[in-house]
Amino acid sequence: MSTVEERAELLDRATATGQAIPQLTSAEPMTLETAYAVQHAGIALREQRGERLAGVKLGFTSKAKAEQMGVSDVIIGSLTDRMGIEDGGTFDVGRGVHPRVEPEVAFRLGPDAEPVAVAPALEIIDSRYRDFRFSLADVVADNTSASAFVLGPWTRIGRLDALAVDLLFDGEVVATGSTADILGDPLRALPAARRMAAEYGHRLFDGAVLLAGAATAAVALKPRTHVEARVAGLGSVSVRTKEG
């Protein structure tokens, strides 16, 4: 049996090299509890290298994502400052295994884990497992495939339950949905995050970012693309991809 730390190091190395690994559960069974322990051990490795926690993300909060990946339980992962890319910045697809992008909604949390602002967001996910296939425990151990995130302009929180969401590559719509696809209303990500953070040991600190989850299925990234998410009423956020 491999230890939690050994499993975290395998995933950490796959992230660093861009070389996919077999699912951890193909070697031995793994409970959800152990999977979250592996996730936290992986974040500890990042913190040892000077990364700082930036917040948390939820996964599989939309039917589109659950159907795409064949996994239906909501999961929670950690975001670090080094995963953040400024709006309009650049992401190197050559650095990843097989990165995909999702249009999302982000919240900034205040004290007491209350949401104080909302922004359109892009999440870049990149499973460290071969063929982007995994079980629930595998993806939890792999920090819910977190790779990078881009935040658009923060605005005051109003009604968020039915805003049109578009994902565009070079100005062409490649996926479309609604904020209603995120738990019925992305504001429901707040109680979900509080419950899961308490259960699995994540911190919802003052100033933390919460990614509520994708409104559409994820789309594979290619180099030299202008990637934009538009959320009606919230504005837009973009990133450019390059290779090498």
Residues found near ligand OOG in the complex (CB under 6 A): 59-61, 65, 69, 102, 123, 125, 127, 139, 144-145, 213-214
| CA gap 185, 163 in Å, rounded | 10
Token pair 């499993």 in the structure block, residue: 7
Reading phi first (left if > 0) and then psi (alpha if -120 to 50, else beta), residue 187 is in alpha
What residues contact 175, with CB distance under 8 A and at least 6 apart? 103, 166, 167, 216, 217, 219
Q: Least separation, in Å, of the C-beta of 20 and ligand OOG?
A: 13
Q: Least separation, in Å, of the C-beta of 36 and ligand OOG?
A: 14
Position of minimal CB gap to Mg ion: 123
| CA gap 79, 167 in Å, rounded | 22
Output 113 or 141, the one with its CB closest to ligand OOG. Answer: 141
H helices of 92-243, in order, are 136-141, 189-200
Options 106, 214, 217, 231; binder of Mg ion; rule CB under 5 A: 214
Q: Least separation, in Å, of the C-beta of 142 and ligand OOG?
A: 8
Output 3 or 107, the one with its CB closest to ligand OOG. Answer: 107
Among Mg ion, ligand OOG, none, partner that 65 touches (CB below 5 to 8 angstroms by kind): ligand OOG
Reading phi first (left if > 0) and then psi (alpha if -120 to 50, else beta), residue 7 is in alpha
What residues contact 3, with CB distance under 8 A and at least 6 apart? none
Output 12 or 102, the one with its CB closest to Mg ion. Answer: 102
Token pair 């699912």 in the structure block, residue: 23
Please report, as residue ranges, which positions from 103 to 132 form the binding site for Mg ion (by CB under 5 A).
Answer: 123
Output 111 or 215, the one with its CB closest to ligand OOG. Answer: 215
Please list the helix, strand and coil fractions of the chain in percent, rounded to the nearest 5, in that order.
35, 35, 35
Q: Least separation, in Å, of the C-beta of 114 and Mg ion?
A: 22
Output 12 or 102, the one with its CB closest to ligand OOG. Answer: 102
Q: Least separation, in Å, of the C-beta of 213 and ligand OOG?
A: 4
Q: Which residues bind Mg ion (CB under 5 A)?
A: 102, 123, 214
